[in-house]
Amino acid sequence: MSALNIPKSSFPRVIIIGGGFAGVALAKELSKKEVQVVLLDKNNYHTFQPLLYQVATGGLEPDSIAYPIRKILQDYPNFFFRLANVLEVKTEEKQLETNIGTVKYDYLVMATGAETNFFGNKEIEENGMVMKSIPESLNLRSLILENFEQALLTDDLHQRDALMNFVIVGGGPTGVELAGALAEIKKGILPKDYPDLDTRRAEINLVQSGDRILKEMSDKASKKAEDFLEELGVHVWKNTRVLSYDGKVATTKTDLSFECATLIWAAGVKGASIKGLDAQELLVRGNRLKVNEFNQVVGHDHIFAIGDVAGMITEKTPSGHPMMAQPAIQQGKNLGFNLVRLLENKPLKPFVYNDKGSMATVGRNKAVVDLENYKFQGVFAWFVWMFVHLFFLIGFRNRVIVFINWVYNYVRFDREARLIIRPYQRDYDRFR
């Protein structure tokens, strides 16, 4: 046995850091091959991030968008999972430092994904809410509900409005989906749950620094999503950059400011690098590891990066591939194929992204879909969105549960997981 209690093997050891879309796709591809695969993740589950906003807004239980990593690969004899937070990569020694010990690799794959980027704004980092993980989504769910409970207790209209004012920064898919879900809660659930509170005064503000929302999608999708949001009563503020948020007031570059108890930061992500692989010369824009067309980290023949953390800069992708599930899955599969070729001394296959399109939902019967030759919006797009998300969720049980929840929510106009299971400790005194 070696460090982390992983048996010695005659096969080369490939360590994958991260059991997200990219890491799992790679591990599946490798697990029946003549390599020892060690997957390390700080969580023992895979998170289906595209549905985090539904957890945050009580539409789905957290368990239904998570899946145990061990179960995904339990049938593969050369596969080892360790619950570990990787702290440092020692490239000279081909060794990792983790919170549970050190471990050696023959090949290392960084599949660590992305983390929230506050662009250095410490105040927003301290006071804003984010939604990159299940615990963060649960924090947000609790805070949203706690705000209404607090709003009910105060006679001061000014305070009450601030407690019911939600500011979402960032008009990408996450911001749009969250704004739509909050607007639906305001319309369908709050009046029934809080008959003694004037919830019509609740406000959902979506603030975007650029001149359109969903800027990665077509003009048509972006325009239609904005129409959908406005139909739902969301205030969409374009060309507005949020500058600060002290936990009470959010200021912007213009005269506009918001007094709000909740500011949700969905305005940026950056690659999740690890000490030892974080030198400036290894990184491209967005803190992503600079890789060649085989996902090999520049200057490191035995280290690869895939998914959100990989920055593959080519003529076609001057900013790297989109930080989305499909590039991550496809890079994982391609690297699996290439690692076997590498061990057989065969030429490697360059990664070519097969762009299957993009989509976002705004709410019930409202979604936008951009395929290469076909762009559509509305009810059909919404069904396509649901089908695609169900299809890509890992685990049969999860698919069944999510499907049942969605049917129930649709028929009953409801979101029953609006529970404060783990209260979010917010200092409400500042609103008094």
Q: Does 56 bind ligand FAD (CB under 6 A)?
A: no
Q: State which of positions 128-147 bind ligand FAD (CB under 6 A).
A: 131-132
Q: Is 180 in the site for ligand FAD (CB under 6 A)?
A: no
Neighbours of 141 (CB within 10 A): 25
Rounded Cα–Cα distance for residues 408 and 388 (Å): 19
393 makes contact with ligand FAD (CB under 6 A): no
Angle at 88 between CA 85 and CA 89, to 5 degrees: 120
- Which one among 36, 127, 174, 377 touches ligand FAD, defined by CB under 6 A? 174
Residues acting as catalytic residues: 177
73 sits near ligand FAD (criterion: CB under 6 A): no
- State yes or no: residue 272 binds ligand FAD (CB under 6 A): yes
Segment near ligand FAD (CB under 6 A); pick from 19-27, 150-158, 230-238, 371-379 = 19-27
Calculate the CA dihedral of residues 275, 116, 322, 367 and round it to 10 degrees: 160
Query: Judged by CB under 6 A, does residue 229 bind ligand FAD?
Result: no
Q: Candidates 199-207, 320-328, 349-357, 413-421 — which segment interacts with ligand FAD by CB under 6 A?
A: 320-328
Sign of CA dihedral 339, 108, 281, 334: positive
For the chain, the first-to-last Cα distance in angstroms comes to 60
Residue 412's Cβ-count burial label (10 Å; 0-12, 13-18, 19+) is exposed
- Give the shortest CB-125-to-ligand FAD separation in angstroms: 16
* Distance from C-alpha of 129 to C-alpha of 168, rounded to nearest angstrom: 9
Tokens (6 digits) for 339: 């690692």
Give, as ranges, the residues between 184 and 223 that touch ligand FAD (CB under 6 A).
Answer: none
Strand-by-strand arrangement of the 358-363 sheet = 358-363, 366-370, 375-377
CB closer to ligand FAD out of 86 and 190? 86
Instruction: Pick out residues in 326-355 that bind ligand FAD (CB under 6 A).
Output: 326, 328
Site residues, ligand FAD (CB under 6 A): 17-23, 40-43, 49-50, 52-53, 85-86, 111-113, 131-132, 173-174, 272, 274, 307-308, 323-326, 328
